[in-house]
Structure 1
Amino acid sequence: MAFGARGASPPQLSGDSFDLQMTLLALCKCLHESGQVPASRLAIELHKVRFSTMKQLHPINTECSFQRAMRSERILTQCVEYADRFLAIELFNTCKVLAKGLRSNPQLLPGVHLALGPQMWEWHPQPGTLRLLGDCIPRTQTFRSTLAQQRDVVVISGGGFGSAVRRVTKSASLLMKTAGSWENLPPMVKKREFHAATFLNGKLYVCGGLNDDLEQEKAGEEAVHGSVECFDPRTKTWRQLPRMSVRRHHHECTSHLGCIFVSGGISPDRPGGEGPLASVECYDPSKQRWSQMPAMSTERKGHTAASVNGKLFACGGGSAPACLIEHLDDSLRFWVPGPSNGTEVVQTCLASTGCQGQLYILTHEVAPTILPDQIFLQRFNPMTGEWKVMPLEVLIQ
């Protein structure tokens, strides 16, 4: 009788249970790495089996289902009480998917948010939609601001305006998608534009960027930031962290292997004068220090980065169409250029993300204006090295 079937008794382990557990763990790892069983499918089946088994071990009088149990308000309120609201939001999104019969429904999961001028867009790599959310960015946030996202939490920070005299803000705003409204956060320590930001372990890290022209004159501050700061949602405070070794703007940072990786950008510290960088550095929060990493194979600015299946990818921002992507080797010793996607024009990478073990990229041909009907969705399979142009539906309501 199948394990977890209705009316079946849980199997009794005999012999060395530890050895059996290790054998099953190795088997699951081999299946996942071979691509036969995706990690998401394994997690779903494991939850179903565990729930069925616990029902048999601890019978209850009323009818109950896994979906109903996960929708319990008590679970959500206890998460908020003993953890924080971010954990409750993640559980809330999980519940919405489970309510659909434990089937993967990407439209219910948080999409990737993009800020293009005053407009915000939501991108779902699967099934391939780009939806306009409207001119919903707070007026306190100007152009050239930076957006970071963790699940249903979106934070937009900094930004500036003006060309002859650059004026920059230190304001920051947070959007909870479930609430549908923006919340003003305490201002950053420094004014920034063209900076980079990412989440790691629930905290927001902001690094680099251009400074306000008047701040440079009044306080004698640097024109390009090498400073880094971190926002803790629990305490609602910003704190300064150790500086990067190189001042940067138009760079990228992303979380990978429990650290913050900063790559590329433009710097006045570049040998030979200000220009684009190929250098990469890594911040370890547990050690509170920066380390130099291998440089990318090409200089990149205005690019994106994504962690997919334990690999760090840099996408776009180069000067040649043949080098759209590259990834950091598992040994963290060198970068491996990816295969060409067959495009003969230089492309701007608007966003990149990992989904079900594959890299999805939104690209746009280099042009002064980004038009929605000229945005393309491409998928790269790290296992096979194959590119595929995917359908993208642009939804403007």
Structure 2
Amino acid sequence: MIKNALKNNERQVDRVILIGGSIYPPSQVIEEYVQTNKNWIKFGDLNVGDRSNFGIVQVQDKFLILGGVDSNVVTNVVESLNLTSGVLTKLQPMTFSRQYPQAAVLNDYVYVFGGPNTSVERYDLSNNIWNEMPSLSVNRRACGVAVLNDEIYLVGGWINDSSSSLVEAFNPITKTWRTCSSMSVPRMWPGVTAFGGNLYAIGGKKLDTSPSERYTSVERYDPNSDKWTFVASLGMARYGITVFSNFYNGTLLAIGGSDGNSLMSEMIVEEYDVARDIWREIGPLNNGREKAYVFSVSLEMIKD
């Protein structure tokens, strides 16, 4: 049973929930961000057994767990998670088995990309069906994904055995892909989010060097000018960062990730003040994790 972690007399705001992450063993603890004092508390547990490397999205009032690896086998299983009870309900499986699938939600459809092939498919929750969409231009994985101006952007990743700076946008109305200006540097596993009409690509790594290079750098994309510019850098180089756009106070949270060396890096949380172009470290996670998923959850979705 996942219990309500905030007391009834606390300020009633949407809840920020962090789920999953590819720490071994896979993190089963769900954490909640308490915005009033900028720290993290346990919210509940994710009971997925040995399953790991899955994707998670929120669509309507449901959380869908997509694919992953179960007992060393890549799966196409899709389950709906009830945050209140912790119960998982099986839905129609994906057409393809996928490990680390990239996924986004737009207009109540779930779009799933790669993991690790070029296929794209769309899930209709209302009818519990999957439909194939136009494929990726190249086989890519470990990229960032975000929705901006009713398009889905795939940013960076690992393409043709090399870290990539490629940026592409998918228009679900025309069902077409277009290529955007590339980032200034190639980024595998960047943290990506949309905020204030722009995209942000945070951290990541480059595997073409030995040892692989980890980034503190952050780039911002303006879709109107189709240009990337550098903004203030992170305090710690990391890849596999989870990014939360906090529209309440105009900040971004760069959550967890890894520097490839220390567990401490997987617990780090930095807050970016968008207006002031400044990063600062805030309350760390209680459980180290990288490539996790973060959501803003309305109070109506969580009941005692």
The TM-score normalised by the length of structure 2 is 0.78
Q: Which runs of 5+ in 1 are unaligned?
A: 1-95, 211-224, 269-273
Give, in angstroms, the shift of residue 363 of structure 1.
3.2
Moved more, 298-307 or 153-162: 153-162
1:325-344 alignment, distance < 5 Å = 325-343=218-236
Give the AA of the match of 2:35: Q
1:234-383 alignment, distance < 5 Å = 234-268=126-160, 274-319=161-206, 323-343=216-236, 346-355=237-246, 356=248, 357-367=250-260, 370=263, 375-383=267-275
Tell me the equivalent position of 1:206.
Answer: 112
User: Structure 1's 122 and 256: CA in aligned 2 closer, same or farther, altered over 3 A?
Assistant: farther
Structure-2 separation of matches of 1:284 and 1:257 = 10
Contact 2:197-2:222 within 8 A present in 1 as well: no
Tell me the equivalent position of 2:292.
Answer: none
Structure-2 separation of matches of 1:125 and 1:350 = 19
Point out the structure with the larger helix share: 1
- Higher Cα radius of gyration: 1
Tell me the equivalent position of 1:158.
Answer: 67
Give the AA of the match of 1:300: R
Structure-2 separation of matches of 1:192 and 1:374 = 24
Structure-2 separation of matches of 1:300 and 1:364 = 14
Give the AA of the match of 1:142: R
Tell me the equivalent position of 2:94.
Answer: 188
User: Structure 1's 145 and 395: CA in aligned 2 closer, same or farther, altered over 3 A?
Assistant: closer
SS at 2:96's partner residue? coil
User: Structure 1's 155 and 231: CA in aligned 2 closer, same or farther, altered over 3 A?
Assistant: same
Structure-1 separation of matches of 2:68 and 2:18 = 20
Structure-1 separation of matches of 2:189 and 2:278 = 24
Aligned pair count reads 272
Moved over 6 A (4+): none
Contact 1:318-1:324 within 8 A present in 2 as well: no
Structure-2 separation of matches of 1:391 and 1:135 = 21
Say which structure, 1 or 2, has more relative contact order (CA 8 Å, 6+ apart).
2
The TM-score normalised by the length of structure 1 is 0.61
Tell me the equivalent position of 2:46.
Answer: 136
Percent identity, aligned pairs only, is 21
Point out the structure with the larger strand share: 2
Q: Which runs of 5+ in 2 are unaligned?
A: 1-5, 207-212, 289-304
Corresponding position: 1:145 with 2:51: no
C-alpha RMSD of the superposition: 3.1
